[in-house]
């Protein structure tokens, strides 16, 4: 597991630095199967699959707990069979290191289910 999970989100101010896109590949290597959707705002996204609805709801709640603990809130798309997460930093309209930290912690939560 990536040591990103040892980090904690820092307060993200409007002048906080975006992650330089040249660093995306190295950061993605520290995660499991995440990708970056490069649209008007870059987002770090991953879909997790579940064999039953209860497990997907449980995972959603654990991610919500993480969001509150880190004071950083992703888009969570809960459907039967899957949960899709999208992490990005609203204030800087793109990817902050916080997003990679939260992605790594999301994987850790999934792997501990």
For residue 1, what are its two tokens? 């597991």
- Name the one range near a second copy by CB under 8 A: 24-32, 33-41, 43-51, 75-83: 75-83
- Asked whether 12 and 96 are in contact (CB, 8 A), the reply is yes
Nearer to a second copy, 27 or 63 (CB): 63
| Residue 90: CB minimum distance to a second copy, A | 8
Nearer to a second copy, 53 or 93 (CB): 53
How far is Cα 92 from Cα 56, in angstroms, rounded to an integer? 30
Residue/partner pairs of 33-40 with CB below 8 Å, 24 or more apart: 34/103, 36/95, 37/86
For residue 42, what are its two tokens? 């870059």
| Residue span 26-65 as binding mask against a second copy, x where in contact by CB under 8 A, dash where not | ---------------------------xx--x--xx--x-
* H or E stretch at 36: strand 35-38
Query: Could you say whether residue 77 binds a second copy (CB under 8 A)?
Result: yes
**Pick from 75, 91, 93, 113: which binds a second copy (CB under 8 A)?**
75
For residue 38, what are its two tokens? 């490069």
Residues that bind a second copy (CB under 8 A): 53-54, 57, 60-61, 64, 67-68, 73-80
């Amino acid at each position: 597991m990536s040591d990103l999970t040892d980090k904690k989100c820092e307060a993200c101010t409007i002048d906080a630095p975006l992650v330089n896109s040249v660093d995306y590949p190295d950061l993605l290597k520290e995660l499991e199967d995440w990708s970056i959707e490069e649209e008007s705002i870059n987002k770090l996204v991953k879909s997790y699959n579940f064999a039953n609805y209860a497990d997907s709801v449980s995972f959603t709640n654990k991610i919500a707990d993480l969001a509150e603990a880190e004071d950083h809130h992703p888009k969570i798309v809960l459907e039967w069979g899957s949960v899709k997460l999208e992490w990005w930093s609203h204030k800087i309209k793109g990817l902050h290191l916080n997003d990679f930290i939260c992605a790594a912690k999301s994987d850790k939560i999934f792997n501990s289910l």
